[in-house]
A and B are shown apart, each in its own frame.
Chain A
């Protein structure tokens, strides 16, 4: 084997293999969807999931799934909606509730 062949087989080919593997792992990592990690700040928009109620969801998906939550002044966590800060909308309390709570 000449010097050229030796270099090719023992240096260039392993380098090429390592390069391909590196590209696969690093490339896949960069376009991964952002995910939650404990302890890191969570800066996503709050989301509220319901099994889509077919009666209250318009075909084009533009109407809110929850009609009552779209009522003026009903607000959830976060900032008060514009212009309704001085109005209070009372949501009737549905009575005693059960459940559990915890932290991690």
Chain B
């Protein structure tokens, strides 16, 4: 994948993607809100993952600028697989059980063919959890 494809919504990279502009807007909104509410870096990858899926999703997270404070939602529609990866500091704020719960909601949406809806739901649930955890401290 070339660098030009690894761009954000602001670059209009998803012109050839599966999302309409309205869906892109919703994802962008959810991402921005999640980042702002939690101080973590959320990112969403939609595309094929190499085998083994978990390791390649973790490698994707490691390429982010601050992997320890990042959360990656990797969705591979062809493999029908979802990987939620949290960096080690992010994992303290979002326990694995919360990730499981978000993952279940996302998978339910994906089963219905709603990629964007599932992604937005997952982002909101994870961000809610991290924001609550932050308030408690």
Number of residue pairs spanning A and B whose beta carbons lie under 8 angstroms apart: 204
Number of interface residues of B (CB under 8 A): 77
Pick the residue among B10, B63, B88, B103 that contacts A66 (CB under 8 A).
B63
How far is B27's CA from A8's CA once the two chains are assembled, in angstroms? Answer: 51
Interface residues of B in 59-108 (CB under 8 A from A): 59-65, 67-68, 77-88, 90-91, 94-96, 99-100, 102-104, 107
B90 closest partner in A (C-beta) = A98
Q: Mark A72-88, 1 if CB is under 8 A from B, else 0.
A: 00111110010000000
Q: Which of A18-48 contact B (CB under 8 A)?
A: 33-38, 41-42, 44-48
Number of chain A residues close to chain B: CB under 8 A:
49
Which residues of B are found within 8 Å of A10, using beta-carbon distances? none
A-binding residues in B (CB < 8 A): 1-14, 16-20, 27-28, 31-32, 34-36, 41-50, 53-54, 56, 58-65, 67-68, 77-88, 90-91, 94-96, 99-100, 102-104, 107, 110-113, 115
